[in-house]
């Protein structure tokens, strides 16, 4: 079975540019998470969707960050305008929430973002 698919794997762009990260969750999963990983701050949860609806976006650092999930098989994380401090690895993860709490998350391989 295909896992969580993220694109692009690497992105290098200049500050001020718009960046769009993409994620395709595992088919049948109904929860989707966006994370940011840096050496300084570790793994941070940015936003969480359940059945395509954003549930908790308290981790989104600023208004420059936005995320959408137009359907069950696709999500985007957008940064506009981008800044050098946004440089990090961004992970998407999905899971199946079925009323129990012990479902693990399945992570994509991440997008390594560098803002110059």
Partner 1 sequence: GNSVTQMEGPVTLSEEAFLTINCTYTATGYPSLFWYVQYPGEGLQLLLKATKADDKGSNKGFEATYRKETTSFHLEKGSVQVSDSAVYFCALSDLTGGSYIPTFGRGTSLIVHP
Q: Which residues bind partner 1 (CB under 8 A)?
A: 4, 33, 42-43, 45, 48, 50, 55-56, 91, 93, 97, 101-110
Q: How crowded is residue 2: how many other Cβ atoms within 10 Å of its Cβ? A: 7
The CB-of-86 to partner 1 minimum distance in angstroms stands at 19
CA atoms within 13 A on the CB side of 42: 1
The CB-of-31 to partner 1 minimum distance in angstroms stands at 8
Q: Which is nearer to partner 1, 15 or 109 (CB)?
A: 109
The CB-of-2 to partner 1 minimum distance in angstroms stands at 14
Q: Which is nearer to partner 1, 5 or 72 (CB)?
A: 5
Placement of tokens 């769009």 in the chain: 20
Q: Which is nearer to partner 1, 59 or 68 (CB)?
A: 59
Q: How crowded is residue 67: how many other Cβ atoms within 10 Å of its Cβ? A: 20
- Among the residues of the chain, which ranges form H helices? none
* Environment class of 98 (CB within 10 Å of its CB; exposed 0-12, middle 13-18, buried 19+): exposed
Q: Which is nearer to partner 1, 64 or 112 (CB)?
A: 112
The CB-of-59 to partner 1 minimum distance in angstroms stands at 10
């Amino acid at each position: 079975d295909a896992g969580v698919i993220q694109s692009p794997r690497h992105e290098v762009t200049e500050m001020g540019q718009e960046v769009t990260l993409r994620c395709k969750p595992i088919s049948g999963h109904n929860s989707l998470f966006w994370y940011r990983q840096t050496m300084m701050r570790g793994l941070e949860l940015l936003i969480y969707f359940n059945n395509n609806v954003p549930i908790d976006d308290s981790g989104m650092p600023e208004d420059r960050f936005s995320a959408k999930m137009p359907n069950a098989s696709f999500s985007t994380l957008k940064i506009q305008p981008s800044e050098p401090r946004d440089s990090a690895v961004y992970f998407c993860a999905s899971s199946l929430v079925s009323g129990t709490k012990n479902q693990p998350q399945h992570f994509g391989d991440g997008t390594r973002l560098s803002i110059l």
